[in-house]
Amino acid sequence: MIPTTYDGLLILDKPPGMTSRAALDRAARWFPRRTRIGHTGTLDPLASGVLVLCLGSATRLTEYVQNMSKTYLSRFLLGARSDTDDADGIITPTISAVAPAPSLVAAHVAQFVGTIEQVPPAFSAAKVTGRRAYDLARRGEVVELAPRLVRVDAINILLYDFPVLDVEVHCGKGTYIRSLARDLGDRLGCGAHVQDLRRTRVGPFTAENAHTLECDPAAARARLLPMQLAVAELPRTTLSLDDAKRFCQGQAIVLPELSPGANGGKIAVFDNEQRLLAVAEYDVQAQVLRPAKVLASRER
């Protein structure tokens, strides 16, 4: 029997030269017309790779996928700057650019690891007074974006042969690889921009297991992933049958010595059959688990 509703996650391998929205619209044709569907983190048109789509009830969990750690492969081109910080913009070669020594490149790359301040690119979806920065930049307006804190877990240099620098970046939510290239080029004094970018991982989702837009729609529907994977990076707890029933009715549950981890106190709550019930907030002082986003029915 063909299901009339779809709830779960679909992992796309977005091709370069296409917006994330256009990729989503293509994939949406594989499902019934009124299926709710949204993506969980924009990829630049130049970029390819993992784009996680949430369908049906899973659209309520997009924020937790957005917060997942990510891995990118990128080629930086040193010796030239771009107004978009990538190869899609207007490229301006740096006059008399000198190839930095490999040791200097490695030393400066290391400075971007950790929690750092980063200014998003002018051509980005970041907002300025309620408007998208790229809308202002396209009109020729001066865009001044405030720096924000982002987390970079590691940057591995895969190849350096001036002007080419290939890197693998492991990072958290909101990190712009274009900004890393721009800022690295500024510190080296030669300028730099992103020539190629591929997202290879979002949380547990990898490009190797992603669907292309040329895949068989029936196969994509059949391989929809369970929506509990959207909370894979949250700590989890399992409730008894009675506690689960009360919790799904909106009641708080006393759970002593539960550790919420470093996710703003959010915890994924499962029943004893390992079905996702809700995302909860844990009050460490009161040792109480409170419903934040209930996904299961009250009858469960």
Active site residues: 44
Give the CA-trace dihedral at 110, 111, 114, 118, to 10 degrees. -130
Q: What tokens appear for 33 in the block?
A: 């017309």
Give the three-state DSSP class for 249. coil
Please, are residues 268 and 293 in contact by the beta-carbon 8 Å criterion?
no
Q: Is 73 within 8 Å of 206 (Cβ atoms)?
A: no
CA proximity to 144, closest of 154, 132, 133: 133
User: The tokens 């708080």 sit on which residue?
Assistant: 252
In sequence order, what are the beta bridge partners of 54? 9, 38
